Amino acid sequence: MVYEFRYEITTTAMLGLLFVYLALQKDMTKLNKGFRRLVGMTIVVSAFDMLTAFLFMHATEVHVAWLQIANFLYYLSTYFLVCAFKRYVNAYIEGQKSARLERVERILNISITALFVIMLIFNIFFGFIYYFDPAKGYQHGPAYLLVFAPILFMIIYPIVMLFVYRKNFSAWQTIALLAFVVLLFTGMGIQIFFFENVLLTMVASAVSIFILYFTIESPNHYHMVKMTRELQKTTEELNALKRSLEQEVAEKTRELQDKSDKLDRMTIEIAESLAKTIDAKDHYTIGHSTRVAAYSRLIAKAAGKSEDYQDLIFKGGLLHDIGKIGIPDNILNKPGKLDPEEMEAMRSHSAKGEEIMKSVDSVPEFALIAGGHHERYDGLGYPRKLKGEQIPEMARIVSIADSFDAMTSDRSYRKALPFDVVRAELIKGKGTQFDPEFVDVFLTLFDNAYDKGASYYKVIENLLKQK
């Protein structure tokens, strides 16, 4: 039989030029390299196809071994051509398949390839796929169709992947990739059934290669694909990083909040312990610092101050008399009136308290409260004789709370004063001893708690219960 080579020679030459052009490109993506591999394998298959046809034309002049080798290489290269197509499609979905699927696919590739090669080798000796009759004519063996099973698997698998991961492919890419498969088998069918002596199988493959090139492999296409993929991957990584950071920040925030709450509780417990230590020096003032702290918080809250402010003034109220640590017990517990020298010593507790609390430089308000709660609004207080708003605001609030508790508590030199007297003293001290604004706030709280028929301690209890 005489074969017509010119169509296949022409298309193979064109593919050769395309392959050389692709080989000269420096900046190539994995997809570009996959396409170049596909072009190269198509050229190889075309070459063996023409070699096989040439040897058939001169079968009487060559040894049958050459025919066996040529056919062996033709079938083997055809198998690797569809493998190249499979790898080309896989390059589109790189990194998106599960590790388990990737592992199974690798095992199948190795197993099927090994099986195909073994099958071709065994065919040389047993001829169950194809063989050559005594006249060196090519004949199909009883298991001829078996040779197409591995090839069909390698061509069907990427088609399945094409549809499973269709979001990765545009309409043109899908059409072009399917066209490669359709034209490959169409060319094979036309040659077998209509033009047996015309080499058309690889002509059709070459046409499909150029369709792929002009629809997918156009200049800068893969740079765009690569940039899009990288952008998508970067976006996913950033989103994952964002979620991770948000989770980590939330966890760290919870940890810090827990630590802050624990530290806050510990600070209050320490302040309360110090307050009890101070108050214990004078059995008449037991619980005084705690009540002053509670009254101060009530006034701050009723005046519209923030929760942080309220917490701060409560702690400062607990420590307002810390300077009494440096006052001798005989002065603190003296049953009668203090002489001028003793009074001077007693008054020094404000300055001493301020000096002590200055060491807590992270909370300067503590020192201001300790040093300013005996200042008077009219400037006649101590230790600095500050006047009006020169006195720190928290100290002005604690001053009212301190005086109220002093008047409503038993002392070594007197019993607790009646509530009407206490109220009158607070009103009398407006603008002289006390800040008038905060006196009005406290009087409103006091009036809400006061019940004429209630016991002394019940009124105090009602006052402290107010929210």
Q: DSSP labels for 141-182? A: -TTGGGGHHHHHHHHHHHHHHHHHTGGGS-HHHHHHHHHHHH
* 209 in Cβ contact with 13 (< 8 Å): no
Token couple for 296: 């101060």
Q: Residue 219: which pLDDT band, with cuts at 50, 70 and 90?
A: very low
Residue-level pLDDT at 182: 80
For the entire predicted model, the pTM comes to 0.48
Residue-level pLDDT at 22: 82
For the chain, what is the mean pLDDT? 82
- Whole-number Å distance between alpha carbons of 73 and 81: 12
**What is the phi/psi pair of residue 411, to 5°?**
-125, 170
- CA 431 to chain CA centroid, Å, is 58
Other beta carbons within 10 angstroms of residue 110's beta carbon come to 10
Residue-level pLDDT at 220: 47
Which range of 18-27, 70-79, 437-446, 458-467 scores highest in mean pLDDT? It is 437-446
- Tell me if the bond preceding 158 is cis, omega within 30° of 0: no
- Whole-number Å distance between alpha carbons of 313 and 444: 20
Q: Which of 124-133, 247-256, 268-277 has the lowest mean pLDDT?
A: 268-277
- Whole-number Å distance between alpha carbons of 286 and 279: 5
- Whole-number Å distance between alpha carbons of 19 and 7: 18
Closest CA to 290 of 412, 425, 413, 460: 460
Residue-level pLDDT at 198: 57
For residue 385, what are the contacts with CB-CB under 8 A and spacing of at least 6? 375, 379
Mean pLDDT, rounded, for 306-332: 87
pLDDT at 429 over 90: yes
Tens digits of residue pLDDT in 98-135: 788 888 888 998 999 999 999 999 988 888 888 888 87
pLDDT at 194 over 80: no
Residue-level pLDDT at 227: 59
Residue-level pLDDT at 229: 61
- Three-state DSSP class for residue 303: coil
**What is the phi/psi pair of residue 398, to 5°?**
-65, -35
Q: Residue 175: which pLDDT band, with cuts at 50, 70 and 90?
A: confident
* 320 in Cβ contact with 398 (< 8 Å): yes
pLDDT at 279 over 80: no
Residue-level pLDDT at 200: 63
Mean pLDDT, rounded, for 153-162: 85
* 284 in Cβ contact with 406 (< 8 Å): no
Residue-level pLDDT at 442: 92
- Whole-number Å distance between alpha carbons of 113 and 157: 14
Between residues 187 and 308, the one the model is more confident about: 308
pLDDT at 284 over 60: no
Q: Residue 191: which pLDDT band, with cuts at 50, 70 and 90?
A: low
Tens digits of residue pLDDT in 363-418: 899 999 999 999 999 999 999 999 999 999 999 999 999 999 989 887 766 788 88
